[in-house]
Structure formats: structure tokens, C-alpha cells
Structure 1
Amino acid sequence: MDRLWTLITLLHTLAGPVLTLLYPLYASVVAIESPSKVDDEQWLAYWILYSFLTLMEMLLLPILEWIPIWYDVKLILVAWLVLPQFLGAAFVYERFVRENIRKYRGIEHHHHKSPNVKGKYKFVDFITPKKGEHEAY
């Protein structure tokens, strides 16, 4: 029974890195090489959400340490984001993130055109590619 428990613990420990990093890395490379843009959206959305989750986890670590099932909850959430049966990352991005980004960019774009604002968004303009700027790739 002790060996079985050790095996289960080992598999549980390995599940996190495999599910959150190894499989998404592999799937991202496959997506880049495929002609479809659907899988590109899924994996870009995953990396955005995973980065956000990691940042929130770092900030909330003192609180999360008191929640004994946090690791299991995180594994289930990441499995939903990652697994191709669910495409959770694309769903969350489409449903929640994209709408807010479009609102923000619309406000940003509106301020940029305002004659009273000089130089305020130069850095944002510098790091944000213009339409058609990277079509040569």
C-alpha cells in the first residue's frame, strides 16, 4: 500500500509541470507549424491566462498556502484550459479578455487622436505594431 501511495504522490507531483508547461509547449510548437489560426489562438490565449494565473498566485501566495486543495484546484483549472476537448483558454479569452482589451484599445485609440494629448502614448505606439507592419514574415 505504501508503494501505491508513493506512486500516486509522484504522479500527482509530475502532473503539474506536465499539464501546465510540457504539453502546452509541445502543442504551441505544433500550432505554430500548422496552417490553422484556431490552434494559434488557443495557445496564445493559454499562455496569456497561465501568465496571469502565475502572477496572481505569486501575489496571493500567503493566502493560498492556507488552502490545502489549491494545487488540485489549479490542476483542474489548467486541465480545462489546456485539454483539446474543452479549449478553455480560447473560451475564456474570447468571452472575457477580448472584450475588455477592445474596450481599452478603443479608449486608448480615442485619446491618441485627441489634439490635447501630446506624446502620452508614444511608448505604447512604439511597442504596439501597426496594421500590416509585420506582414512580411
Structure 2
Amino acid sequence: MGNLWTVLTHAHSLAGPVLMLLYPLYASVMAIESPSKVDDEQWLAYWILYSFLTLVEMLLQPLFEWVTIWYDVKLILAAWLVLPQFKGAAFLYEKLVRERILKRHPKSSSPTSSPNGKPKSKNKFVDFITHKKGEHGAY
């Protein structure tokens, strides 16, 4: 019985990193390589929610130390967010995060046009690096 308990304990402690990091990393890479945008949204939503959960967990660490089942609750939540049968990350993003973002940043201007009416690349970093002198004001 002692060896079985040791194996179960190790499996339980490995379940978190595998479920919350390894599988999502693999699935994110596969999503980038696939032509579909649906899986991209699922995994971007997952990483947003995972980051938020990690931040909350860091801030409330002393409280969570008193909640003995926190790790198990976190595993169940992560499974719901990650598993393709549930698509919990996309669901939570759509219901909670997206509404708040759209309230604060309504889509009043087109992201592909600049204030002077010229077409603008969607990649702001490339625009920043490749801008022409005088285009964004005097230097």
C-alpha cells in the first residue's frame, strides 16, 4: 500500500504542470500551425485566464495556504479550461473578459487605418520599426 500511495502522490503532483502547462503549450503550437482560428481563440483565452489565475494566486497565497483543497480545485478548474470537450477557456473569455474589454475599448475606429486615412499594418511593432521620418511627427 505504501508504494501505491507514493506513486499516486507523485502522479497528483505532476498532474498540475502537465495539465496546466505541458498540454496547453503543445496544443497552442498545434493551434498556431493549423489554418483554423477557433483553436487559436481557445488557447489565447486559456493563456489570458491562466495568467490571471496565477496572478491572483500569487496575491492571495497566504489565504490559499489555509484552503487545503486549493490544489485540487485548481486542477479541476484547469481541466475544465483546457479539455476540448468543455472549451472552458473560450467560454469564460467570451462571457467575462470580452464584455469588459468591449465596454472600455469600443471598436469605433478601424484597426487597419491610421488617423490620416492611410492603410496601416496590423503589426504595430513592424510599423514602429519601419516608420518613415516625418510620418509620425518631427524628430
**Coarse TM-score class (shorter-chain normalised):** 0.7 to 0.9
Deviation at 1:96, TM superposition (A): 1.0
1:133 corresponds to which letter in structure 2?
S
Unaligned runs of 5+ in 1: 114-129
- CA offset digits 1:85-133 (Å, max 9, x no partner): 1000000001111011000113xx78xx9xxxxxxxxxxxxxxxx3352
Give the 5 Å matches for 1:114-125. none
Task: Name the structure with the higher helix share.
Answer: 1
Deviation at 1:59, TM superposition (A): 0.1
Q: What is the match of residue 58 of structure 1?
A: 58
Q: What is the match of residue 125 of structure 1?
A: none
Percent identical across equivalent pairs?
70
| TM-score computed with the length of structure 2 as normaliser | 0.79
User: 1: CA distance between counterparts of 2:85 and 2:6?
Assistant: 30
Give the 5 Å matches for 1:1-137. 1-106=1-106, 130-131=111-112, 133-134=121-122
Whichever of the two has the greater Rg, that structure is 2
User: 2: CA distance between counterparts of 1:133 and 1:58?
Assistant: 37
Q: In angstroms, what is the RMSD of aligned CA positions?
A: 1.9
- CA offset digits 1:48-88 (Å, max 9, x no partner): 00000000000000000000000000000000000011000
Deviation at 1:134, TM superposition (A): 2.6
Q: Work out which structure has the larger RCO, using CA pairs closer than 8 Å and 6 or more positions apart in sequence.
A: 1
User: 2: CA distance between counterparts of 1:16 and 1:29?
Assistant: 19
Unaligned runs of 5+ in 2: 113-119, 127-139
User: 2: CA distance between counterparts of 1:85 and 1:74?
Assistant: 18
